[in-house]
Structure 1
Amino acid sequence: MIQDLLDFLMDFGAWGLFIHSFFDAIIMPIPAFFLQVPLSMAHPSNALWLATVGYIGCLLGTPFGYLIGKYVGNSILYKILKKSWVDSATKMFQKNGEAAILIGAFTPIPFKVFTIMSGCMKFPLWRLIGYAAVGRAVKFYVVGLLFYYYGRAAEGMVKDVSMYIFVIAVPVLVLFLLIRKRYRKKKAEAQEKPSKIEAREADLDRPI
């Protein structure tokens, strides 16, 4: 059934990948990676174009996945997705908050889990799209670049590409988020100090 669907979409080339990527962000049970690879292998010179088509399709589908979560709620997650995916994504949300979206874009967990869950948790849509733009660009274009430069020989390289991206990108992202959190904390403390001083001076000036 799944292979039949992939074969059907593959017959449409780039349009098939666009459709697959669009619904991959909403409800498609198979990640777009599994169509991008055979299409890129068949036409390595078009690999970057295929990556672009898939990337655009994914970004356009992201708001629809978000709206499903927002208006249908958590009940839809367990009906259309694997329990292990939902449980893993939920733990990431509870532990890391909005960082889970950005990290989730690089994980092997299908991104639809995060688009729907973002809607369930009323996460800002514009921020979800921003994080999706970064994470999905890496996943689509790493595959595209490998096939563009190495041709069909890249088939063996991309088998574990999601794992490599996850291992390399996530530590960098965690470091970035920690630095940003520390910067924001210092900025808030710096803004808080003058207000405390002003409050103290106001107390001293108050007539006894």
Structure 2
Amino acid sequence: MVQQASKFFEDFGFIGMFIHGFIDAIIFPIPAFFTQVSLSMIDPSSAIWLATLGYIACLLGTPFGYLIGRALGEPVLQKFIKQKWIDKATDSFKKNGEAAILIGAFTPIPFKVFTILSGCFKYSLWKLIGYAAIGRAVKYYVVGLAFYFYGQASEEFVTSYLSYIMGGIAIILLGIFYIKRRIQRVKQINIEKQKNYVG
């Protein structure tokens, strides 16, 4: 199925890359990564342009995935989950959404999962686009630059090792967000102690 989808978009060249990048952020189950790799293998000199097309298309598609989640997400969840759990999940996503989105942009998890969840849990659309812009830029351009500078020889690196590297980056980011949250919590506790002491 992955090969068939990649071949379909590959036949349309640059337009196929743009379309796949766009629907990848909305609902299409197969990541645009596969089309990007296929087209970059054919013409490594166009790899950066392909990365740019996929990246722009992904950002343009992000609001549509968000709107799907906003319109359909909660009604669907309410059929299977109690409202109190939806409220807790919404509150948690609002507090930790930036970590989920930024980390998700590096992982093999389909990005539309995060655009739809952001809409479902009413996360800020502008924050979603901002963090998506950072994470997806890294993922698209690492592939693009690898093929542009090393040509077809970079195929093994991209297909075999890139997921591990991105996963490592995601773990590092998760650690940074955890430390940041701990520092904020300690500061809040100290502020409350000072208020109680003054009172």
Provide the TM-score with structure 2 as the length reference. 0.81
Distance in 2 of aligned mates of 1:195 and 1:134: 38
Q: Which structure has greater helix proportion?
A: 2
What do the CA deviations read for 1:143-168 (whole angstroms, capped 9, x no partner)? Answer: 11110111011112211245223332
RMSD of aligned C-alpha atoms? 2.5
The Cα shift of 1:188 comes to 2.2
The Cα shift of 1:193 comes to 4.2
Provide the TM-score with structure 1 as the length reference. 0.77
| Number of residue-to-residue matches in the alignment | 184
Q: Which runs of 5+ in 2 are unaligned?
A: 78-88
* Bigger CA radius of gyration: 1
Distance in 2 of aligned mates of 1:186 and 1:139: 34
2:152 equivalent in structure 1: 152
Contact 1:69 1:76 (C-alpha < 8 Å) held by counterparts: no
Distance in 2 of aligned mates of 1:124 and 1:45: 37
What do the CA deviations read for 1:19-72 (whole angstroms, capped 9, x no partner)? Answer: 110100001121101110111111111111111111111111111101101101
Moved segments of 4+, more than 6 Å:
none
1:116 equivalent in structure 2: 116
Contact 1:74 1:120 (C-alpha < 8 Å) held by counterparts: yes
Letter in 2 for 1:135: G
1:33 equivalent in structure 2: 33
Report 1:52-91 matches (<5 A). 52-73=52-73
Identity value in percent: 57
The Cα shift of 1:5 comes to 4.4
Aligned partner of residue 133 in structure 1, secondary structure? helix
Q: Which runs of 5+ in 1 are unaligned?
A: 78-89, 201-208
Contact 2:147 2:154 (C-alpha < 8 Å) held by counterparts: yes
